């Protein structure tokens, strides 16, 4: 059973967040009750990752030329505060995709929603936003690996 609490974006000393934990999260999303989850559309998962990347890029791409470290940090904090409501709104978008059906299945399953929301809930500044982006990047990589394994079984 996957433990959502293992996704801790605030722990800089968590050496397995982007490896073992991300891999476990990907498997949890890919399989529901040890069966292949037919409800996840990889385009939807990628869409949410891409949006997370966009917000991380907006927050961290403020003009930081020729200013000292403290001013850079303050600009990033201000930028994060400006975009935070839109970052948190991604939870509503995931909920909508979970509720919406296509071909008889939802676009994303409950497991994806819980993993993604666990990340979003921990985003408190530009640093945790970056870690959330990196974590979801790792999850997508491991998710694709699971997809490729399934494809080889069908050959």
With contact defined as beta carbons under 8 Å apart, do 80 and 59 qualify? yes
Alpha-carbon span 6 to 114, nearest angstrom: 12
Side-chain-side CA neighbours of 109 within 13 Å: the count stands at 18
Closest-CA residue to 146 (of 62, 28, 20):
28
According to the model, what pLDDT value does residue 153 have? 56
What's the pTM value of the predicted model, to 2 decimals? 0.90
Q: How many CB atoms lie within 10 A of CB 124?
A: 12
Q: Tokens 């949410």 label which residue?
A: 48
110-143 pLDDT, tens digit each: 999 999 999 999 999 999 999 999 999 999 999 9
Residue 31 in tokens: 């399989």
Residue 155 has pLDDT above 50, yes or no: no
Burial of 125 (0-12, 13-18, 19+ CB in 10 A): middle
């Amino acid at each position: 059973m996957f433990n959502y609490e293992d996704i801790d974006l605030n722990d800089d000393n968590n050496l397995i967040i982007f490896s073992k934990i991300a891999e476990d999260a990907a498997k949890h999303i890919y399989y529901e009750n040890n069966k292949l989850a037919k409800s996840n559309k990889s385009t939807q998962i990628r869409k949410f990752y891409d949006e997370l990347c966009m917000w991380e890029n907006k927050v961290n791409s403020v003009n930081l030329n020729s200013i000292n470290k403290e001013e850079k940090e303050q600009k990033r904090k201000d930028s994060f505060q400006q975009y935070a409501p839109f970052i948190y709104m991604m939870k509503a978008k995931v909920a909508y995709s979970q509720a919406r059906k296509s071909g008889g299945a939802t676009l994303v399953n409950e497991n994806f929603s819980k993993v993604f929301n666990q990340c979003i809930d921990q985003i408190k500044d530009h640093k945790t936003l970056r870690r959330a982006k990196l974590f979801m990047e790792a999850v997508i990589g491991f998710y694709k690996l699971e997809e490729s394994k399934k494809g080889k079984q069908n050959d």
